[in-house]
Structures are given as C-alpha cells and as structure tokens.
Structure 1
Amino acid sequence: MTDVLIVGSGPTGLTLACELALGGASVRVIEERTAPHRESRGKGLWPSSLEVLEGLGVAEPLRAVGSSEVVLRKYFDGAHVNDTPMPGSGLLIGQWQIQEALRDRLAGLGVRVEYGSRLAGIAQDAAGVRAELADGTVIGARYLAGCDGGRSTTRKLLGIPFEGSGEEEPAMVIGDVRAPGLSRDFWHQWFTSEGGGILLCPMPGTDTFQLQAPPEQDERGGLLPPSLESFQRLFDRHARMPGIRLADATWLSAWRVNVRMATRIREGRVFLAGDAAHVHPIAGGLGMNTGIQDAAALSRTLAAALAGRAGQEVLDAYEAERLPVAAEVLADTSRRYERVMAAVRTPGRGTEAGLD
C-alpha cells in the first residue's frame, strides 16, 4: 500500500508529490492523459510559489529559462500608446516548463507519472483508500489527493458539490502560436474603441507566443471555435500589422468564466487541491499559484498524518487553512477581472489593471 495516491500531474499534483517524496513518503501519481502536454496555460509564478519551488530544488532551473522582467506594450486602435514595465518579483514561464521541471525532480526521487491511468472509483475505510482505475487495476493507499482539475473525477466520485456560477459561452480563445517578425521583447496588448482586442505574450525558452482574444463571431453572431485562421483574422482586425502572419498553432483552447468552489475539500482520507477544489477568473494569474500553495499546505497535513499524528484535528487542518483562502481568491479574482475589462477601454491600459 502506497502512502499517498495523487490523481493528476499538473503543477498542484507534482508539487505535492515532490514535497511528500522529499519527506520520505511513498507516492504514486496517476494521470489520465497519455503523455505530458507542452501548452503554455498558466504562465506566471508569484514569489510565494517560487519559494515553495525553491524548497523543492526546481526554482533555479526555472529562473534560468523564465523572465522576471516583462514589459507590456499597449496599443489602441492599432497605434502604440505606451509601454509598462511590470514588477520583477515574479517569473513569466510556461506551465508545461514548470511541470517538466517538477517531473524531472520527482523522477530523481524515484517516482514517475503513470500516464493513461483514469480513475473510475473510490472506496475508503478506517485503514485506507482503494482507487479503481478504468482498466480494472486497484491501487491501495493510506490517503488520496485529487489534483485533477476543474472537471475533477475525484470530486465527482465523492459527490462533493462544486458551487458557484459560470458562463456557457467562452469569453476567450487562447493558444500557442508563432508570430515571425513580431518583437519578443514585449507582451503585446491591442485594444480597440469598438471593444475587443488581442494579446500576444512571448513565452520564454520558446519561439512561441501565448495568444488571448475574445472569440470571433460568424455572420449570425455565433461564436467560432479557436483555429489558426480565426486567430489570424482577429489579429488583423485588432493589431493592424499586415506584415505579421501567425503560424504553427500548437495549442487551441477556449476559456469560460467560472467562479466555483467545492463545498468541502476533504472526505475522510481523500482531499481536493488546486482547480479540483476551486476555479476562478484568470485576472491576476492566481490559479496555478493558488494550487501550488494548496499542495504545500496539504503536504504538511499528510506528513503529520503519516507520522502518526492523524487525529481528526490534524486531518481537518488542511481544509481549515485553505477553504477560506479559496473563497477569498474567488472574490478577489472576480474583482480583478472586472477591473481589467473596464480598464482596457482606456487607451494605454491593459492587463496590469488586474494587479492593482
């Protein structure tokens, strides 16, 4: 029987796995995906997260690749308005690069992610947890951590409500693209007086940009799915730089506004962390960072439990610490998102409004 089974190999699950393995716990990490992704996704680490990763021995490799000096170049109706240097305390870096560094660290501790492993059932008693996989395999563990994202299978199997609100239609299309000829010295942010805009952020250590824009509409007002062709039309409309042709869209996605939180993040010997426990607007870049902080807190709770101090108060400590934090993050990011949406109507204002 393993000490802790972790479901999900994103930044939250991998941080938790490294913390526990460094402390001497036996850990397994299962992942429904069949292989690691290379998508930029969450792209910023705040100092508190860097501090956690420093303790795991992965911060320096990330600093060697990432950028701590980011300049927002703002345009309005196609014209350059100003440049805004951002504070250098955080780190711009792709989520896939963070996960790669954590996987390498975990492998050095003798643990490898088990890909193609889909959780299908959970049973637990006073002695531990039995996790059944889709292929019929059963894994026994003393504790289980669901770090499997906003659509968390762990949360659904436990029947834990995910309360809040969400929009049916996407608010944003997002992807990784190349933009030959566009300066990589700036996070480009184009907005227009009629509304809408497009953002292209250069991802360190790559030749790609992360693109963000409201979805394109068809002639009937319906929203078009993300595609390279649609990205180019959005770019032409908002950036008005005819010499730039986007290429090689390696990630295409859509983002919906969701503000939801699990009503509880512990069910006996099973815990939720990261997006499995809470999802919220992207303004301020707090999603991945909050998950990393969840992992640090959960590792403390599980380490205490594994050391034999598994009284009810020890197991309750994680939920008592992190559930109020999640509630505040939901409220805070909603306010930040509203500020950004209002600010970009003013020439020279951009996503920095989410940090005010």
Structure 2
Amino acid sequence: MELNNVKDGRVTDTQVLVVGAGPTGLALACDLARRGVHTLVVEQSDALFPGSRGKGLQPRTLEVLDDLGVVDAVIDAGGRAPVGMLWENGERRGEHDMFERPGPTEAAPYGEPWLLPQWRTQQILHGRLTELGGSVTFGTALTALTQDEDGVTAELTTGTVRAAYAVAADGGRSLVRRILGIPMTGESVDPAPMLVADVRIPALDRLNWHVFPGDGAAFLAVCPLPGTEDFQVTGRFSDGVPDISPEGVRELIAARTHLTADDVAEVRWSSDFRPRAALAERFREGRIFLAGDAAHVHSPAGGQGLNTSVQDAYNLGWKLGQVLLHGAPEELLDSYEEERLPVAAQMLGLSTRIHRGEARRGEATMQLGLGYRGGPLAAGSAGALEAGDRAPDGPLPDGRRIFDLLRGPHFTLLAVGTDAGLPSGDGAVVRCHRIDAYEPYGTGLFLVRPDGYIGWAGEDTAGLADWLRRAGAHGGLDLKRA
C-alpha cells in the first residue's frame, strides 16, 4: 500500500489505524512504532484517560513493559500492593493480605503485582510512543468504517483515513465492534452497581488497603495509589444508580467509614459501572481486529482486564509488523484470534470467580503460566519447554540476562547447552545466541517470538526453516548452513 500522508487534504494514508488511546492502543502503537510501522492513533477525548481504574499490573505485563522499554519508569512511579486492613465500627480488626506474593526468581524477575493508576500507566506509554516518533491524534472520533480486499476506510470527525489494517482499542462500548456487527456475549457478574473514584484523604494512613465490609451490599474499599497523594475508592450498592458527584462520593465515604465528608479533601475523578463478563464472538473481521475491552470485558476483581488487553496488543503488534514489513503470509494474522480468544475466555472466568469469592488472587492472576501450547504457531519441544510456553528469564555469565537478548522487535534463536548448528545471516530479524545449559530451559534450540513465547523448539534445526517462512522471519538467514 502506497503511503502519501496527505494532511492538508481530507485523506491521510497509514499502515495501521488504531482507534483508542487507552493502555491497549498505546501499547500496540509503541510496538508498531519500534518496528517502523506507520501508525495513526486516534482518540475521541481531548486528553488521556484521567482515572485510576485499572491500577494493578501483573508480573507478565511487567515483562511486556520491560520489552517495550518502560518498566523502569513503571517501577519508579508505582509500588507494591499494600496489605489489606479490615475495619468494623470505626476500629481496625486486623490485616489480611489479598495477594499471594511468591517473590521474584531468576526465571521470573517480577514476583508480584505492581500498583500504578491507569492514568499514569498511559502517560508512561504515551511518553514512550513519543520517544519512538509516534503520536496520538486527540479530539478525533470515528464515525464510520468500511473495508475491501485492499484496505480499510475510516471516516473521522477530522476527515477520511485509508489504512491497510485497523485495530479497535476503543473500549467495552466499542463503536468499531458495533459497526462490524460482532456479537458480545456474557453474563452479569454482580447485579449490584459499583462506584470507583480517586480521592484525597489526608486523615487516612497510606500503609494499608482499607476495607470496610459493611453488610456486603455496603462494601467499601480505599486503596492508596503509589506515587500519588490519591486513594482509589470502590463501593458496592444494593440497587439504584450511584451518585458519582463529589458530594455523593464524600457522603458515601462518611456513611460507610469512620471518616467525615470534610475529611475528603478532593474528589479528582469518579465513575460507576456494573461488573460483567463478556467476550466478543470473534476478534477479527477481515482487515479489522478487536483488542482489549473491545474484545473482552472483565470484572475488576483480580486485575485481569488491563493486563489481558496489553497482552492482546503485544500478540498482535509483531504479527502486523511481519505481514506489513517482512512479507509474512496474511494467514499469520489469523493466529491472533486463535491464540488470544481462548486466553481471554480463561481470564474472564478467573476474574468472575475471584469477584464471587470462589478463587483467590494468586499464581493464575499473575499470568506467567499463560501460553499457546497446541496453538497454530507452536511447533516442537526441547529440554524443559514446549513450543507455546513463555520464555523464562535467567542470568548470563557476562552479567546480562536472557531478557536482554530477547528485548526488541526481533526473533531470538537460543542454543541452550547444545552444539547444534545455527543458521548464519545478518540477524536483522532473527538473532542467534549460544548460552550454557539452564534448568528452566534444559538443553536444545528455542526460537523465541518477539512477544516472548517459544514458537519452535527442537534438538536440531529440522523444521525451523518452515516455521520461519510462515512468520516471514527467514529473510537474511542461511538456513542450509545450520
């Protein structure tokens, strides 16, 4: 597709149009930008989302953010989830940790969830996108979307855009999904409406996640947000529509805690919602993809929504890059839905069980065990791993780590504890490294995809060439010499 980038006229051509600048859209835009894919991100709001809503980043998402080059900023800006403190009749009744905290290991360097308000996560991703030469076009809404065999045409409030592909990252009420007529089915997780707000309460300590159980229907939680002076307040209502005005939020806190309305110095943001779990029937319609909340909507319990969404973007980005820049067959894009839809369904079920008290926030919520075994891009096994598994981290003799070898938009072929032959070439798309035998891998050859999962594994290179051709990653390599 020829790009002309006509801005003074009414048409601006791009390779990928991303609708929505939430965590999903920004993560995808960062991944595409570092690959050199021309991307237009449009956001109907005039600024980034202002609230804390998705405040928990799981260990696997931290690994994604490590690869995208922002994990240090995320760690510096956030903090550990505080231990819960139960209150009753204005008195502390004891601490209760809501999370299992296994701690970091050599293979998994991020050992627990990290709290960071969503608005700050988006600021960090937006800053990274700017560093990579990308941008967001704010105050621009989608009004219509059509496609043909050659591309997608989007009508925006600022004009017409022609793109090779489009990605709906426009949230649970996705206009793109509705235009496409893709059904979204699910269930109400809890019939009770909920309120969420960001407030400042100088009179309340920030050492705990304060929980006021009430009678169930009157549940209220107040969580300090690291790196800010704010608390996130979540409240459950038996019926009706929560009053999300500043006065309503103050009255709610005063009614359910030992605090007074005057103790709430500021209400910075508030919203209401009804917890539900819903999954789109499909994640792809021709040249248009659904990602994030546009494809799946979670209960906030367990912190799976934002994390699953960012990983949608991480899965899709490298595939779009391979098709657009490296001649990978169009069929590679089919694997996005084939891999991500089952994962989203699994995480939806987990979120619902946690919301209903049927499961605890633990190893499963950290998402390190998720993978694509048996999927369309998983071929072979070696040592301790099967294709589709997450590639573990680990130390190297020179002081670097395995993640340092993987970081970037390339594929990585690891020869672990083996003298098996490796292909030669320029390494622009596939980089080859030999390392010593390492228990989480065992020994063998492991082709790590750009999103950190094993695509192919074996004792020698038989079958590697076919896998690389399917992914458009064989250019510049002499596979005959392997």
What TM-score do the two structures reach when normalised by structure 2? 0.67
- The residue number in structure 1 matching 2:96 is 84
Q: Distance in 1 between matches of 2:226 and 2:208?
A: 11
Question: What SS class does the counterpart of residue 80 from structure 2 fall into?
Answer: coil
Q: Per-residue deviation at 1:277?
A: 0.2
Q: Per-residue deviation at 1:306?
A: 1.2
Q: Deviations over 1:172-224 (max 9, x none)?
A: 11111111111012111111247522111111121111111123x7xxx7444
Residue type matched to 2:144 in 1? G
Q: Distance in 2 between matches of 1:194 and 1:303?
A: 48
Q: Distance in 2 between matches of 1:150 and 1:99?
A: 17
Distance 1:41 1:69, change over 3 A: closer
Q: Per-residue deviation at 1:310?
A: 4.5
Q: Per-residue deviation at 1:307?
A: 3.1
- The residue number in structure 2 matching 1:347 is none
Indicate the larger mover: 199-208 or 187-196: 187-196
Distance 1:43 1:224, change over 3 A: closer
Question: What SS class does the counterpart of residue 154 from structure 2 fall into?
Answer: strand
**Pairing of 1:54-203 with structure 2 (within 5 A):** 54-85=66-97, 86=99, 87=101, 89-135=112-158, 137-166=159-188, 171-193=193-215, 195-203=217-225
Indicate the larger mover: 87-96 or 51-60: 87-96
Residue type matched to 1:206 in 2? T
Distance 1:289 1:141, change over 3 A: same
- Report the aligned-residue RMSD: 2.5
Query: Which entry has the higher C-alpha Rg, 1 or 2?
Result: 2
Is the contact between residue 171 and residue 214 of structure 1 (CA under 8 Å) also seen in structure 2? Answer: yes
- The residue number in structure 1 matching 2:25 is 13
Q: State the percentage of identical aligned residues.
A: 40
Note the residue ranges of structure 2 that are not aligned, 5 or more in a row: 1-12, 102-110, 367-482
- The residue number in structure 1 matching 2:55 is 43
Q: Does 1:322 align with 2:340?
A: yes
Distance 1:168 1:122, change over 3 A: farther
Higher relative contact order (CA 8 A, sep 6+): 1
Match of 2:272 among 235, 254, 259: 254
Q: Deviations over 1:280-335 (max 9, x none)?
A: 21110001000011011111221221134453431211000001111112211111
Residue type matched to 1:157 in 2? I
> If each structure's helix is expressed as a fraction of its own residues, which one has the higher value?
1
Q: Distance in 1 between matches of 2:365 and 2:48?
A: 31
Question: What SS class does the counterpart of residue 79 from structure 2 fall into?
Answer: coil
Residue type matched to 1:260 in 2? A
Question: What SS class does the counterpart of residue 229 from structure 1 fall into?
Answer: helix
Is the contact between residue 193 and residue 242 of structure 2 (CA under 8 Å) also seen in structure 1? Answer: no
Is the contact between residue 19 and residue 296 of structure 1 (CA under 8 Å) also seen in structure 2? Answer: yes
**Pairing of 1:225-264 with structure 2 (within 5 A):** 225-242=243-260, 245-264=263-282
Q: Distance in 1 between matches of 2:229 and 2:91?
A: 25
Distance 1:83 1:20, change over 3 A: same
Residue type matched to 1:70 in 2? P
Q: Per-residue deviation at 1:355?
A: 6.4
**Pairing of 1:298-317 with structure 2 (within 5 A):** 298-317=316-335
Q: Distance in 2 between matches of 1:313 and 1:355?
A: 31
Q: Per-residue deviation at 1:12?
A: 0.5
Q: Distance in 2 between matches of 1:268 and 1:194?
A: 45
Q: Distance in 2 between matches of 1:351 and 1:76?
A: 23
Q: Distance in 2 between matches of 1:209 and 1:193?
A: 22
Residue type matched to 1:106 in 2? L
Q: Distance in 2 between matches of 1:301 and 1:249?
A: 42
Q: Per-residue deviation at 1:273?
A: 0.3
- The residue number in structure 2 matching 1:346 is none
Is the contact between residue 119 and residue 134 of structure 1 (CA under 8 Å) also seen in structure 2? Answer: yes
Q: Distance in 2 between matches of 1:17 and 1:297?
A: 12
Question: What SS class does the counterpart of residue 250 from structure 1 fall into?
Answer: strand
Residue type matched to 1:152 in 2? S
Distance 1:230 1:333, change over 3 A: same
Q: Per-residue deviation at 1:141?
A: 1.1
Is the contact between residue 177 and residue 248 of structure 1 (CA under 8 Å) also seen in structure 2? Answer: yes
Question: What SS class does the counterpart of residue 271 from structure 1 fall into?
Answer: strand
Question: What SS class does the counterpart of residue 307 from structure 1 fall into?
Answer: helix
Q: Distance in 1 between matches of 2:230 and 2:283?
A: 37
Q: Deviations over 1:211-257 (max 9, x none)?
A: 11123x7xxx7444223333233323322245961132111110212
Residue type matched to 2:82 in 1? V
Distance 1:338 1:176, change over 3 A: same
Q: Distance in 1 between matches of 2:267 and 2:153?
A: 41
Residue type matched to 1:108 in 2? E
Structure 1 ranges of 4+ moved more than 6 A: none
Q: Per-residue deviation at 1:261?
A: 1.0
Distance 1:271 1:98, change over 3 A: same
Q: Does 1:265 align with 2:283?
A: yes
Distance 1:56 1:338, change over 3 A: same
Is the contact between residue 18 and residue 167 of structure 2 (CA under 8 Å) also seen in structure 1? Answer: yes
Q: Distance in 1 between matches of 2:72 and 2:268?
A: 27
Residue type matched to 2:254 in 1? D
- The residue number in structure 2 matching 1:204 is 226
Is the contact between residue 7 and residue 29 of structure 1 (CA under 8 Å) also seen in structure 2? Answer: yes
Q: Distance in 1 between matches of 2:154 and 2:328?
A: 21
Distance 1:247 1:286, change over 3 A: same
